Chain A
Amino acid sequence: SFVKPDAGWKKPRRIQPTPYRLETEEKISSAACGYGFTLLASNTTDITKVWGTGLNKDSQLGFQRSRRDQTKGYDYVLEPSPIPLPLEKPQQTRVLQVSCGRAHSLVLTDSEGVFTMGNNSYGQCGRKVIEDEIYSESYLIHQLKEFDSRVVQVACGQDHSLFRTKKGSVYACGWGADGQTGLGHYNITSVPTKLHGDIAGVNIIQVSSYGDCCLAVSDEGDVFGWGNSEYLQLASVTETTQVNVPRHLPFKIGKIKEAACGGTGNAVLTEEGNIFVWGYGILGKGPNLTETAVPEMIPPSLFGWSDFNSDIFVAHIRCGLGQFAALTNRGELFVWGKNLRGCLGTGRMEDQYFPWRVTVPGEVVDVACGVDHMVSLVKSF
């Protein structure tokens, strides 16, 4: 049964179709949406740095002690609750970033490496797979420190994890049947291992993954991909449906600044501020474009660009499983894709076939997309 959360005056509702303000004790600097759960992190030096809410059946939110029975934990967390991290210096370390996958989460700190928790059946938490391990109500939070340099970004795919280090190399662990670990085989990896292939020696500045496909951007503006290609995500370089070694994607669309990988579709942001999409699904160019192997540009006029306002461009791009979110330099949020249970925030329940502005009472600083929900960090005017 459910225990009523502290904010008992709030009526529970199944669907939230428009942005809803979540009150938090601290200023949140990073948010991540998993498959049915959310992690919020603040870069404070206080003891409580990360809060989690949502599904906790695999302890992806750590151990949440039940109030009724001190020995048991909650399987569902109904409001942002603190996640205790086993930090050596809890009052000095800061949490830089959080990332969530299907049933596991990663917390990146500035001096104590990466903490992983949740399901480890495929080694996605970076520790050895224990047969018949029970993941619910588990206290285990694993710490990963053995990388060639400090980890500066973490990204979670569905059942695998990617780590990007300061030196520009990428490490991966977890499920590899689609080649998403990029290590040259299709087995699971339970220890973070460095990737080679076309990214060997390349300084990678960003990695992204959410489903079974992965993209990495180098400092020179090239994009590399590996993993699942059943939806033409990597069809520009190969006919096979799985790619297990990072391959350079030879797109002639200009220098790429940021990439975002969704479940079936991918998007990149170029230096000029244009978005290119490819893959399968609702890509953002109307209902007629459902799949393409070659990136297609989304007309900037859909983001508010016009002769009247010619200095508007897209600053960030993010992907959820079936939806995309773009942030413009004016702090506006545009979403498109499948509107599962109102996750786009447009107020309507229909799918959105081209970028649509979401009314948010403030400037949107960052956004995180999940399967059927989205979280945005907003600065008030």
Chain B
Amino acid sequence: MRGGPGSSPCTSRGGGLVARVPRAVETEAETRRPDPPRGRESLTDTGPAPSGGGALELVPTRVPVLADHPLVQGPRFRRLKIGAGHRLDVKASGVFVLGIGHGNKLLTDLYNCHLTKVYTVGGLFGKATDDFSDTGKLIEKTTFDHITREKLERILAVIQGTNHKALLMYSNIDMKTQEAYELAVKGLIRPMDKSPPIITAIRCLQFALPEFQLEIHCLHETQQYLRKVVHEIGLELKSSAVCTHVRRTRDGVFTLDDALPRTQWDLRSIQDAIRNCQLKVETEIEKTLGHRDNSPVHQLDVQTAESAEGGHP
């Protein structure tokens, strides 16, 4: 798990984070005992009564309960099972969903919901590299003065159109039914099974030659696929382009606001985050998978966590 699949340098971020978070949680849980130490009442003998008489008296005293002592109880969290959501490249940054303990079951449910993810992708015209990013080996350099925002937007419209068709095709719905028509009107048709990467929406956020920024909503993609899309946009515009950064701004129901930055990777914030997102996750799973499976949703007990924006300033 540490190295991720394969031993290439471009490994996924899951391994490292998944090892760090439980350690953070465990060490913190040990040092902070949230509950005030309990006490119990007990009656002890004190010795001969001051008033004399030789009889022993029972006086109530407060004695600490040892059951709560950390040395007796042991560490609060042992062997936390943490699972990762959709993969995020080492070179990419953004929202990365983790599940703790029982939340791992919710992760599979969320995966089956096939919700879209939103990325902000930055690109640079004029270069082409072998791995489509700006750190790769340079293959060619081209001019880009002829590129205008209108041309870029036309290409984006084409991409959106062809992907729209793919969306409808892979969703495996019979086009002849009224149900298919209604879903198409609402825009809810999407593939609920495996499919090649599909871009549901793409638009240009910023355009300042040679740089440009796109917002991409997609399904079943990998970050490398998005870099390839940037490269292909460059080719379509009769120039070349490389991808400078990929940042996931939304993964299903989890947005940047819900995500915890690196400074907040501690127990309290994680617990708060879980609590805040619980309802959202429930409603989304309910809505999409609905009456298909009841138990995991209703029994869930606050165990889904989110984690942070990784590095790459």
Mark A residues whose CB is within 8 Å of B: 285-288, 299, 301-302, 304, 306, 308-309, 330-332, 350-354, 356-357, 359, 363, 381
Contacts and interface: CB of A to CB of B under 8 A. Distances in A.
B292 interface: no
Nearest to A363: B154
B24 interface: no
3 tightest A-B CB contacts, nearest first: A286-B181, A299-B185, A286-B178
Contact of A330 (B157, B165, B180): B157
B105 interface: no
Contacts of B182: 286
Given A286-B181, A301-B185, A304-B160, A353 B176 contact: yes
Contacts of B186: 301
A290 to B, nearest CB: 11
B61 interface: no
A354 B203 contact: no
A308 B201 contact: yes
Nearest to B185: A299
Interface in B94-128: none
Given A351-B176, A352-B175, A306 B181 contact: no
Given A302-B185, A359-B165, A381-B236, 19 more contacts: A285-B181, A287-B176, A287-B177, A287-B178, A287-B181, A299-B185, A304-B160, A306-B187, A308-B203, A330-B157, A331-B157, A332-B161, A354-B175, A354-B185, A356-B175, A357-B161, A359-B161, A359-B162, A381-B151
A354 B187 contact: no
A353 B175 contact: yes
Contact of A381 (B154, B162, B201): B154
A304 B178 contact: no
A352 B184 CA distance: 13
Nearest to B202: A308
Contacts of A286: 177-178, 180-182
Contacts of B185: 299, 301-302, 354
B158 interface: yes
A301 B161 CA distance: 13
Contact of A302 (B162, B175, B184): B184
A354 B184 CA distance: 9
A261 B185 CA distance: 24
A381 B151 CA distance: 8
B289 interface: no
B165 A357 contact: yes
A318 to B, nearest CB: 19
Contacts of B158: 381
B205 interface: no
A351 B180 CA distance: 14
A356 B155 CA distance: 19
B235 to A, nearest CB: 12
B164 interface: yes
**Among the interface residues B160, B161, B185, which one has the most CB atoms of the partner chain A within 10 A?**
B161
9 contacts: A286-B178, A286-B181, A287-B178, A301-B186, A350-B175, A353-B175, A354-B175, A356-B168, A381-B236
A309 B201 contact: yes
B158 to A, nearest CB: 7
Contact of A304 (B164, B176, B177, B236): B164
A304 B161 contact: yes
A353 B157 contact: no
A332 B164 CA distance: 12
Nearest to A305: B187
Contacts of A301: 184-187
Interface string B180-223: 11101111000000000000010100000000000001000000
Contacts of A302: 184-185
Contacts of A363: 154
A350 B181 CA distance: 15
A272 B158 CA distance: 23
Contacts of B178: 286-288
B181 A354 contact: yes
Interface string B142-181: 0000000001001101101110110010000001111011
Nearest to B174: A350
A348 to B, nearest CB: 8
Contacts of B217: 308
A351 B185 CA distance: 18
A350 B160 CA distance: 24
A332 B157 contact: yes
A354 B175 CA distance: 9
Nearest to A330: B157
